[in-house]
């Protein structure tokens, strides 16, 4: 019994008699686990929108990341930055306020690297994301949705928990390691995949990391590339980029993960050429058409992005090469935007053609 316990305490290699030389080889292996496969997503040609506009409308397939969303990039960037700063030691706890996708990314990358996660999520988010987080092994705390100004806001609760327990707060909204991840990966990938032919980039805003970091990189390569924010109703980014104020009280949206009301650190100082206001109905019509005619299954924020790309294509005319993001899979929203009863109850029609 004693020797068995002692054996269990030995490093894995010694316990199973694996030679040290082989272990060193494994450590320096040219193969990697999931943390080595975040990003480098395919750039898909979206045939119907491209034909309609006589532009190339291209979508980065972010739903193909290991955690199933664009937020894996931010999660990995934030974790690696914290490791470099000595803020994350083995076995540490990462806490974050998130609409779900960042939590999923932090949880799986955390597991691959030996950290545990505590996720504070508004109870308004889809049941799929909340259940998935629990299944993945995160400790999930659901809280009522409150504005940032309220101390009960999910993100501010996460900050408080970090301070009280000595945990690491990922702070995706104001930690610019998020923006940097897109500057270092999303931007260069788009530049390379289009062989520098990209003329426009469109993104919606949650934290602003995607729009901020990617647009910053693309503008550095070619200042003529048009960078555009696609904003859902009820969010303040449209008004911020158009008029420089945050006075937006014009409706609401069911798109999850986007809809920002303040200028986060990830948005400060970025150069954006235009902003569009997008209806949920148009975004919905686009993602249903994408599924039915091209076999691409994505959530509503991707539809907001694609509606923005469509508007940029229409305004600028044929010949443009416009890139946007397919942020996550429709699987995360089966109980809502891919549920006909839910759609009916919320006045949305999946069969309405793109107008």
Within residues 89-108, the interface with ligand PMP by CB under 6 A covers 99, 101
Q: Which residues 228-257 are close enough to bind ligand PMP by CB under 6 A?
A: 256-257
The CB-of-127 to ligand PMP minimum distance in angstroms stands at 15
CB 176 within 8 A of CB 188: no
Q: Is 204 in the site for ligand PMP (CB under 6 A)?
A: yes
Please compute Rg for the chain using Cα positions.
21
Give the helix/strand (H/E) hosting 230.
strand 226-232
Q: Identify the bridge partners of residue 168 per DSSP, sorted by sequence position.
A: 94
Q: Does 205 bind ligand PMP (CB under 6 A)?
A: yes
Q: Residue with the closest Cβ to ligand PMP?
A: 257
- Which residues on neighbouring strands pair with residue 326, listed in sequence order? 61
Q: Is 122 in the site for ligand PMP (CB under 6 A)?
A: no
Longest alpha-carbon distance in the chain: 76
Q: Which of 27, 60, 71, 129 is catalytic?
A: 71
How far is residue 58 from each of residues 87, 199, 273, 310, measured CA to CA in Å?
38, 11, 19, 11
Residue with tokens 């999930």: 140
Q: Is 301 in the site for ligand PMP (CB under 6 A)?
A: yes
Is 286 near ligand PMP (CB under 6 A)? Answer: no
| Closest by CA position to 124, among listed 252, 287, 213, 262 | 252
Annotation says 71 is catalytic: yes
Least distance to ligand PMP, CB of residue 33, Å: 23
The Cα 340–Cα 353 span in angstroms is 16
Applying CB under 6 A, which part among 16-24, 131-139, 209-217, 285-293 lies near ligand PMP?
Answer: 209-217
The single residue among 120, 235, 327, 343 that binds ligand PMP, judged by CB under 6 A, is 327
Binding site for ligand PMP (CB under 6 A): 69-71, 99, 101, 204-211, 256-258, 299, 301, 327-328
Active site positions, annotated: 71
């Amino acid at each position: 019994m004693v020797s068995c316990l002692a054996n269990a305490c030995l490093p894995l290699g010694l316990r199973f008699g694996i030679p040290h030389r082989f272990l060193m080889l494994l450590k320096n292996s040219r193969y990697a686990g999931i943390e080595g496969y975040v990003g480098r997503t395919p750039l898909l040609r979206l045939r119907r929108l491209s034909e309609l506009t006589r532009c190339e409308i291209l979508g980065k397939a972010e739903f193909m990341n290991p955690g199933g969303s664009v937020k894996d990039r931010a999660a990995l960037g934030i974790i690696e930055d914290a490791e470099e700063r000595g803020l994350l030691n083995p076995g540490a706890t990462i806490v974050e306020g998130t609409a779900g996708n960042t939590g999923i990314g932090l949880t799986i990358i955390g597991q691959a690297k030996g950290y545990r996660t505590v996720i504070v999520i508004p109870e308004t988010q889809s049941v799929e994301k909340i259940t998935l987080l629990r299944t993945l092994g995160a400790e999930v705390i659901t809280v009522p949705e409150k504005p940032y100004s309220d101390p009960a806001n999910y993100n501010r609760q996460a900050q408080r928990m970090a301070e009280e327990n000595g945990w690491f707060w990922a702070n995706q909204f104001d930690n610019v390691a998020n923006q940097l991840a897109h500057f270092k990966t999303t931007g260069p990938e788009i530049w390379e995949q289009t062989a520098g032919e990209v003329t426009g980039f469109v993104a919606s805003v949650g934290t602003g990391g995607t729009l901020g970091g990617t647009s910053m990189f693309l503008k550095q390569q070619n200042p003529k590339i048009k960078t555009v924010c696609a904003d859902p109703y009820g969010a303040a980014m449209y008004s911020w980029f158009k008029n420089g104020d945050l006075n937006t009280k014009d409706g609401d949206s069911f798109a999850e993960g986007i809809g920002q009301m303040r200028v986060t650190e990830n948005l400060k100082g970025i150069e954006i050429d235009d902003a569009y206001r997008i209806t949920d109905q148009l975004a919905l019509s686009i993602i249903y058409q994408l599924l039915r005619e091209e076999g691409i299954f994505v959530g509503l924020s991707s539809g907001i992005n694609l509606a923005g790309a469509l508007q940029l294509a229409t305004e600028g005319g044929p010949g443009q090469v416009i890139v946007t993001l397919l942020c996550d899979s429709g699987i995360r929203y089966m109980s809502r935007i891919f549920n006909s009863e839910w759609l009916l109850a919320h006045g949305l029609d999946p069969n309405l053609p793109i107008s």
